[in-house]
Amino acid sequence: MRKLVFSDTETFYRELKTALEQGEQIEVITDYKRYSDLPEKLKTIFELHKNKSGEWVNVATGAFIPLSASVTTINYSILYILAGAGVGALFGTIVGGPVGAAVGGGIGAIVGAVAVATASGKHHVDIEIDASGKLRLKISPIR
């Protein structure tokens, strides 16, 4: 199982995308203990808003409930766009400076959207809150 420590960076999203494409089991480890502290990108990619309930989030305080669990899904289009835009922007910068970065980022996002449209991988995602109240996501390919 590949363990990825969450960071709200292009590098993390590219690494996650690559691991998903390779069909690996993945554990995303975070230091977050409250739903409101989660970065919007993480909430969106793992569609956490759909499964936010008293099962793993205390509705009164917003804190995660230690040793609780739930399931969720992955929004592949957002993940591919985030990972694709970063790569496209990097390539655009090399070729055409700041203007190239903007164009490259747009192209990368389009390429990412097309890639997800043809992606066939599906994954099962378990939301787990550890004993100290920190969020972990366990991802397994559905074969």
CA distances from 54 to 37, 41, 60, 66, 99 (A): 17, 22, 9, 12, 47
pLDDT for 98: 54
The string of pLDDT tens digits covering residues 44-94 is 999 998 877 778 999 899 999 999 999 999 998 888 887 765 444 444 444
Q: How far apart are CA 23 and CA 139, in angstroms?
A: 10
The string of pLDDT tens digits covering residues 7-54 is 999 899 999 999 998 999 999 999 999 999 999 999 999 999 887 777
- pTM for the model stands at 0.74
Reduced to 3 states (helix: H, G, I; strand: E, B; else coil), residue 95 is: helix
Parse the chain into domains and list their residue ranges. Answer: 2-141
**Residue 110, pLDDT above cutoff 80:** no
Section 98-122 average pLDDT: 47
DSSP summary character for residue 63: B
In this predicted model, which residue has the larger pLDDT, 32 or 98?
Answer: 32
pLDDT for 84: 62
Token representation of residue 4: 């990825």
Helix 10-21 / helix 76-118 crossing angle, nearest 10 deg: 40
Q: How far apart are CA 85 and CA 79, in angstroms?
A: 10
Q: How far apart are CA 57 and CA 67, in angstroms?
A: 11
